[in-house]
Structure 1
Amino acid sequence: MGDPHRIGIVGLGFISGAYLTTLRDHPAVRVTAVADLDPARAAAVAAELPGAEAVGVERLLGGADVDTVLNLTVPAAHAEITLRAIDAGKNVFVEKPLAVTFSDGREVIDRAAAAGVRVGCAPDTVLGTGTQTARAAIDGGLIGRPLSATAVMITPGHERWHPDPDFYYVAGGGPLLDMGPYYLTALIHLLGPVRAVVGAASRLRTERVIGSGPRTGRRIAVEVDTHVSGVLEHASGALSTITTSFDGVATTAAPIEVHGETGTLAVPDPNHFDGETRLFPLDGNGWRALPVDAGYTGAGRGTGLLDLVTADGRAPRAGGELALHVLETMTAVLRSAHEGRRIELTTTAQRPSPVPLTPVVPQQFS
């Protein structure tokens, strides 16, 4: 196996705990450095990681003990930290979205290519058994030629549970940029890249009230659209519709449904790694669960980073080109909503290679 790949983490907020659960004891990697705006928080995390050091961001990015930077900062800082890591010669895996704007995302990918370093990006949930079993069903012809899909995410807003939800309601936030990457990445895995979009958007109210934590009851401003719908034209000819909302209460809709000539698939929530994929065949009389037959088993946040650092010449399945295409799709939907017109995309992306049924251990990544 050789020496573990050395990881430096920038940003130790809410999501870092999920990543550390996956990475802390994994033999393929070792967390060697952590940095955060709150030095005390960095010191506390480092104390729980044998061999890790709490350092400043500059020291982490320039350190010879870091091979890949895991960028878990808030969305508004994604591009800045990622570009600084690239300029320091580091590979980067960044929490979604790749950047707040498409132009920043484009710069990240171009600078990484020029520097000869790799970029990966969440979500990696689509590499789990849920989405991958659905993909295997489509690729295996269980629904015939895919014609269309729907993707639905309805919630009353993250301020109800998140103690510091401010970033969800400023540039880089909103339901599409926050949750859309899960659904759009899954749709691209299932149906291929998008060539054009049409969008519509609205905003229910201008303030939100924090519902948990030490800031409970405090009001925060809403600066972004909080209900976004889009129609996606895939290069394959399939059409998808996506709805993401922080303005609803609940829905009975499946997170994703894919409709084909000979069947319909109900795909599990792409915000999770696993879940039941169900098939309703044309000549059948009801839904039936499909056996789990593809995807990384036992996966958690950080599986995409493991896939990146163990790729051995294979394109990473949670790679930067895919993340850039997802980012352009989202920003184009928002532009379409504001400009009232259909927008053709300038990027594309290959469907990542499928994941065979594989335990999350490095010698079995393939």
Structure 2
Amino acid sequence: MGKPLKVGIIGCGAIIAQYLANFRKLEQVDLVAVADLDPARAQAVADGYQGVRALSVEELLAADDVELVLNLTIPAAHAEVALKAIAAGKSVYGEKPLAATTAEARQVLDAAREAGVAVGCAPDTVLGTGIQTARKAIDDGLIGAPISASATMVTPGHERWHPNPDFYYQPGGGPLLDMGPYYVSALVTLLGPVVSVIGAASHTRNERTIGSGPRQGEKVPVDIDSHVTGVLVHASGALSTLFMSFDAVKSKSPNIEIHGERGSLVVPDPNHFDGDVQLFSLGAEDWETLPVSAGYVDSGRGFGIADLASTPAGVEPRAGGAMAYHALEVMESVLESAGSGSAVRINSTVERPASVELTVLAGELDRLQAQEAV
């Protein structure tokens, strides 16, 4: 705390561009090195970011000036890379999911605890003004005691735009594991931990046709369920319904709705950091848009790392490993229940992360003031 956190990135794929854009405006983060299995990709990043060195993975893990490793590798490698970083004495922050399975994720958390380093994990969208304004509305009692929630994600399939969509339809893929981290993390942030789940799943097609790129027209097999529903029972007693589909075409339903005794909330897309929160109070005649009242202003990917950098040692980060593990267990258990037809108890729990007051981070404030002066 009190000085920038020196970060090294492993994995220089497409998602890195969003992190780089935000690191440039965050005083809490100092990017010092990048690495990739393709050295040319790492060098391209270093060439475009002043003061950053392109290293091999082994060199980055051994670098004395890297305090935290941002793990942007593919999900199957998340645990392996995280464990190597922890063994090198470094904190880790990864893209979702924390690991491919809860068994691997538990190894990461146990190793970090023994090493005395921090673990953070996306999504940090829950720290933005969208989810945090909704959280404040619930905490302020605007809807009374929460009763239920619904979370809806509908798309006819990523093969329509993704040139290599194979992994979405293989074990470890599917709509729940792909997009569920955003929705489950948001629901836990809003309503608290989950104690049990029940799920059902199906798929409508055994193969998908790639719609763009050099493989356009090629068919890929579907080896997972591509439509998943689930009911989450929160420790508070609230019930959340998940509806995650790569089969359906479109939905007019809001991404997330929260219903309470005295009102209902429309919560913005949990894959975004901002968005309008709407309230319909008991006895009202129409929805009202709530003013932005909480969260990191104008935030984006990487703000979770800035938040971690400001978290005292020994305190769980808001976008931390405990939340990521709990969300992963919830999703695994929904799929387990869909296979067995029985409810599944959730073994882990997590404290609702502390709310984020309406905050403009240092560095970001300078940028916003410069924009206003133009």
TM-score range, shorter chain: over 0.9
- The aligned residue for residue 83 of structure 1 is 83
What is the Cα deviation at residue 197 of structure 1? 0.2
- The aligned residue for residue 311 of structure 1 is 311
Q: Does the Cα contact within 8 Å between 1:69 and 1:92 map onto a contact in 2?
A: yes
What is the Cα deviation at residue 3 of structure 1? 4.7
What is the Cα deviation at residue 112 of structure 1? 0.8
SS in 1 for 2:148: strand
- The aligned residue for residue 299 of structure 1 is 299
Q: Does the Cα contact within 8 Å between 1:35 and 1:56 map onto a contact in 2?
A: yes
- The aligned residue for residue 251 of structure 2 is 251
1:136 maps onto 2:136 in alignment: yes
How far apart are the structure 1 equivalents of 2:213 and 2:307? 35
Q: Does the Cα contact within 8 Å between 2:29 and 2:305 map onto a contact in 1?
A: no
Q: Does the Cα contact within 8 Å between 2:4 and 2:309 map onto a contact in 1?
A: no
The one-letter code sitting in structure 2 at the alignment partner of 1:269 is: D
Distance 1:143 1:201, change over 3 A: same
The one-letter code sitting in structure 1 at the alignment partner of 2:335 is: L
Q: For residues 226-237 of structure 1, what are the structure 2 equivalents within 5 Å?
A: 226-237=226-237
Q: For residues 1-366 of structure 1, what are the structure 2 equivalents within 5 Å?
A: 3-313=3-313, 314-361=315-362
The one-letter code sitting in structure 2 at the alignment partner of 1:142 is: L
Distance 1:226 1:29, change over 3 A: same
How far apart are the structure 1 equivalents of 2:4 and 2:94? 20
Q: Does the Cα contact within 8 Å between 1:89 and 1:115 map onto a contact in 2?
A: yes
What is the Cα deviation at residue 347 of structure 1? 0.2
Name the Cα RMSD after superposition.
1.6
Q: Which deviates more, 250-259 or 78-87?
A: 78-87
SS in 2 for 1:359: coil
What is the Cα deviation at residue 251 of structure 1? 0.2
How far apart are the structure 1 equivalents of 2:34 and 2:164? 21
The one-letter code sitting in structure 1 at the alignment partner of 2:128 is: G
Write out per-residue CA displacement over residues 40-67 of structure 1, whole angstroms, 9 at most, x where no aligned residue: 1111111111111112111111211211
What is the total number of aligned residue pairs between the two structures? Answer: 364
Gaps of 5+ in 1: none
Q: Does the Cα contact within 8 Å between 2:25 and 2:363 map onto a contact in 1?
A: no
SS in 2 for 1:65: coil
What is the Cα deviation at residue 28 of structure 1? 1.8
How far apart are the structure 1 equivalents of 2:206 and 2:76? 20
Distance 1:247 1:363, change over 3 A: closer
How far apart are the structure 2 equivalents of 1:172 and 1:139? 35
How far apart are the structure 1 equivalents of 2:33 and 2:264? 47
Q: Does the Cα contact within 8 Å between 1:143 and 1:259 map onto a contact in 2?
A: yes
Q: Does the Cα contact within 8 Å between 1:174 and 1:225 map onto a contact in 2?
A: yes
Q: Which deviates more, 213-222 or 224-233?
A: 213-222
Q: Does the Cα contact within 8 Å between 1:75 and 1:173 map onto a contact in 2?
A: no
Q: Which deviates more, 60-69 or 163-172?
A: 163-172
Q: Does the Cα contact within 8 Å between 1:94 and 1:121 map onto a contact in 2?
A: yes
SS in 1 for 2:195: strand
Q: Does the Cα contact within 8 Å between 2:131 and 2:270 map onto a contact in 1?
A: yes
What is the Cα deviation at residue 101 of structure 1? 0.9
Distance 1:146 1:3, change over 3 A: closer
Write out per-residue CA displacement over residues 241-280 of structure 1, whole angstroms, 9 at most, x where no aligned residue: 0011111111000100011001010101000000000011
Q: Does the Cα contact within 8 Å between 1:61 and 1:85 map onto a contact in 2?
A: yes
How far apart are the structure 1 equivalents of 2:364 and 2:22? 16
Q: Does the Cα contact within 8 Å between 2:153 and 2:243 map onto a contact in 1?
A: yes
Q: Report the TM-score, using the length of structure 2 for normalisation.
A: 0.94
Q: Percent identity?
A: 58
Q: Does the Cα contact within 8 Å between 1:74 and 1:167 map onto a contact in 2?
A: no
